[in-house]
Amino acid sequence: MFKSKDYDSILKELYQFKRFGIRPALGPSRKFMVALGNPQKKYPCIHVAGTNGKGSTTAMIASVLQSAGYATGAYHSPHISDFRERFLINGQFFQKEEIKKSILRIARKHKKAGLGTMTFFEWSTGLAFSLFADAKADAAVIETGMGGNFDATNVVLPEVSVVTNVSLEHTAILGSTIEKIAFEKAGIIKNGIPVVCGVMDKKARTTIQTVAKKKGSKIFFLGKDFTVSKSGKFVSASGEEFTLRPSMQGDYQMKNAALAVQAVLCAGKFRATKQQIESGIKNAFLPGRFEIIKKGGREIILDVAHNPSAIVELAKLLKKRGGKYDFIFGALGDKDFKRMLKILAPLAGEFYCVTPDDDRAIPAETLCSAARAIGIKARVASPGKITLGKRTCVTGSFTVVEAFLEKNRIR
């Protein structure tokens, strides 16, 4: 299957599986895990789904568990600038040699089992579970790729499930209504396993409550069963109090921090002191979440906001800083890009429209026309051929941030 022997060439072969797209089916992943010896069963885990914030929440949970002394794996997707970002152990990359050997070993098991074609995400998920098992992880925090019900990660039996929030996204696959999307994300809820949920509208909340009730799962809602103030005062569902100071910026990160803490408190197999919890939240970091880079007298903000609700939060943070920003912007075809542009318009100086490196990408010319139609000064550009001004924000898609970093190497 993999003809190459060196890491970079093997990765190129692995990326070829992207041509098989997204498969909303759990059967192939279950068979794949059996062939691999069910590595996901070798450590307790926490499973995280949601439209926005699941990456940050995953990072915060992992950081708290690490602070408490657990060797902790964290599975993220997608990555921004390095494939190894997807699989972290105690916040660190696995060595390339470890990943290479694991891929080749998995390929041999896949072939021996006579399994059919796997998607890129199914391969990546199998790799994550295997790497964590080989590293003898004490715990793992698993972020879904899309939805939950038929997501490749949904082969785990977690200590607790987390649904950060629900809004319209990936409607062609998950459904065209909030209720349908909430139902798909609620698919990670397992029989009798507690579920922690963020703030969401009534339709989503009711849908998730219905699923939790059917499965006999106790449900905890932020703002109802546990709370956090803007200043960081957190009160758990059982009345415990903590002071949360996330280093990642934004009011929404305080909400993500609250979800992370409540999830750890609900997970029966994990124990963490007040100091360990507060330290873990403070130390958590994930690239591309309002990441500010200052270089050569310029300020560059990298943010992977890729739907209207995330762009709203990005705009709030930019407004607090004051003034205008040049934007390097690209979006995928299943996003409401016109609404995203409208939200950013009052903050925009120059607008550089790019075409993300993705089959679902909206052409830069289409973005440019839509931006000009609402009064934005926009032009078509390439991420590596833009003369940066004093203040630039790169956003709209993970792949836009990835391409910008690859072309400019500003870190």
Of the residues 267, 283, 299, the one at which a domain ends = 283
Distance CA 396, CA 113 (A): 40
Residues 262 and 330 in one domain: no
Distance CA 165, CA 54 (A): 9
Which CATH number does the domain housing residue 182 bear? 3.40.1190.10
- What pLDDT is attached to residue 409? 75
Tell me which H or E stretch contains 160.
Answer: strand 160-163
Distance CA 54, CA 77 (A): 10
Q: Is the peptide bond before 78 cis (omega within 30 degrees of 0)?
A: yes
- What pLDDT is attached to residue 86? 98
Residues 71 and 184 in one domain: yes
- What pLDDT is attached to residue 173? 63
Q: Is residue 1 part of a domain?
A: no
Residues 111 and 134 in one domain: yes
Of the residues 249, 265, 283, the one at which a domain ends = 283
Residues 164 and 267 in one domain: yes
Q: Which residues contact 364 (CB under 8 A, 6 or more apart)?
A: 330, 353, 354, 355, 380, 381
Residues 260 and 393 in one domain: no
pLDDT in tens, the chain (411 residues): 787 789 999 999 999 998 888 888 899 999 999 999 999 999 999 999 999 999 999 999 999 999 999 999 999 999 999 999 999 999 999 999 999 999 999 999 999 999 999 999 999 999 999 999 999 999 999 999 988 999 999 999 999 999 999 986 765 666 669 999 999 999 999 999 999 999 999 999 999 999 999 999 999 999 999 999 999 999 999 999 999 999 999 889 999 999 999 999 999 899 999 999 999 999 999 999 999 999 889 999 999 999 999 999 999 999 999 999 999 999 998 789 999 999 999 999 999 999 988 888 999 999 999 999 999 999 999 888 898 999 999 999 999 999 999 888 776
Residues 381 and 259 in one domain: no
- Look-up of token digits 């800083």: 321
- What pLDDT is attached to residue 172? 60
Q: What is the chain's Cα-based Rg? A: 21
Which CATH number does the domain housing residue 326 bear? 3.90.190.20
Helix/strand/coil percentages in the chain, nearest 5: 45, 15, 40
358-378 residue pLDDT tens: 888 999 999 999 999 999 999
290-347 residue pLDDT tens: 999 998 899 999 999 999 999 999 999 999 999 999 999 999 987 899 999 999 999 9
Return the ∠ at Cα 86 (arms to 188 and 106), rounded to 5°.
85
Of the residues 283, 300, 330, the one at which a domain ends = 283
Residues 255 and 296 in one domain: no
Q: Which two tokens stand for residue 69?
A: 């002394």
Residues 317 and 195 in one domain: no
Q: Is residue 2 part of a domain?
A: no
Residues 268 and 353 in one domain: no
Residues 45 and 86 in one domain: yes
Contact (Cβ atoms closer than 8 angstroms) between residue 226 and residue 203: no
Residues 241 and 310 in one domain: no
Contact (Cβ atoms closer than 8 angstroms) between residue 285 and residue 369: no
- What pLDDT is attached to residue 410? 74
As a three-state string, the secondary structure of 71-108 is CEEEECCCCCCCHHHHEEECCEECCHHHHHHHHHHHHH
Contact (Cβ atoms closer than 8 angstroms) between residue 265 and residue 61: no
- Look-up of token digits 């995953």: 58
As a three-state string, the secondary structure of 240-308 is CEEECCCCCCCHHHHHHHHHHHHHHHHCCCCCCCHHHHHHHHHHCCCCCCCEEEEECCEEEEECCCCCH
Q: By residue range, what is the domain housing residue 178?
A: 7-283
Quote the number of domains for the chain.
2
Residues 231 and 91 in one domain: yes
- What pLDDT is attached to residue 400? 95
CA-nearest of 25, 49, 50 to 307 is 50
